[in-house]
Amino acid sequence: MTQRTYQDACGAARTMDIVGERWALLVVRELVFGPKRFGDLRAGLPKASQNVLSQRLRELEQSGIVRRVQLGPPASVHAYELTERGRQLEPTLIELSRWGAGLPAEPDVEMSTDAFMLLLKALYRPPTDAPVTARLRLQVGADAFEVGVSPSGISVVRGRSGQVDVTVTGTVRALRDLMFGGTPLRSAVSTGKIEVHGDSTAAERFFLLFGAAPGAARPQEI
């Protein structure tokens, strides 16, 4: 291992020895919803240089957080995925997302698709007066996620594996505006920023199920 160490026996310090280097925890974030090729990781972390990203992946692999896999068929390509130990970091990432959701961010700073999906898990607030149960497909570019909401929680899975009530297509920014910016769904549809196929009422209710962390401002960025 080449990264710095705190030389502290505290569990938090030992964890930061592994995932505390710049970009390391964000690499884990990008792999929470499944394996990715190196190019896909770069697309999700455009500010990380190729050399730095390669180094972080090597370090995470050496630490047993990430492993290399081969995807296919039909295309046989190398990719990276979280190990079981790596997947155990998801609750920590969700809490960090929730904690930081109300912090101010520059208006032009973008959010990766996977970061946005993690934010949904962090800020889901099921209503107590009118329980909602629905399944939606969120389509962002070539990426799709199936999101299930119920009074007991939320699930987010990459892919198109099952039946859904409605499919909503748009950019991360357009989806964020619907959830946190006060943009009405009908307005987003009429301007072409969002497409809805299926139960539009379910979509409208879905976008009202997310709020800022208690005591925080409206969320802007992870």
Average the pLDDT over 156-185 and give the result: 92
pLDDT computed for residue 164 by the predictor: 96
* pLDDT attached to residue 126: 87
Query: Could you tell me which residues come within 8 angstroms of residue 26 by beta carbon, excluding any fewer than 6 positions away?
Result: 45, 48
Nearest Cα residue to 175 out of 133, 135, 140 = 140
pLDDT digits (tens, 9 = 90+) for 91-109: 999 999 999 988 887 777 8
Pairing of strands 134-140, 143-150: antiparallel
At 129, the pLDDT band (50, 70, 90 cuts) reads confident
Q: Would the pLDDT of 135 be above 70?
A: yes
Q: Span 109-125, mean pLDDT? A: 94
Rounded to 5°, angle at Cα 112 from 100 and 164: 100
pTM of the full structure: 0.89
Mean pLDDT of 110-133: 91
pLDDT over 90 at 130, yes or no? no
**Which one has a higher pLDDT value, 107 or 119?**
119
Residue 148, SS3?
A: strand
Backbone angles phi, psi at 148, to 5 degrees: -110, 130
Rounded to the nearest 10 degrees, the angle between the axes of helix 90-100 and helix 24-31 is: 110
DSSP output for 38-65:
HHHHHHH-TTS-HHHHHHHHHHHHHTTS
Percentages (nearest 5) of helix, strand, coil residues in the chain = 40, 20, 40
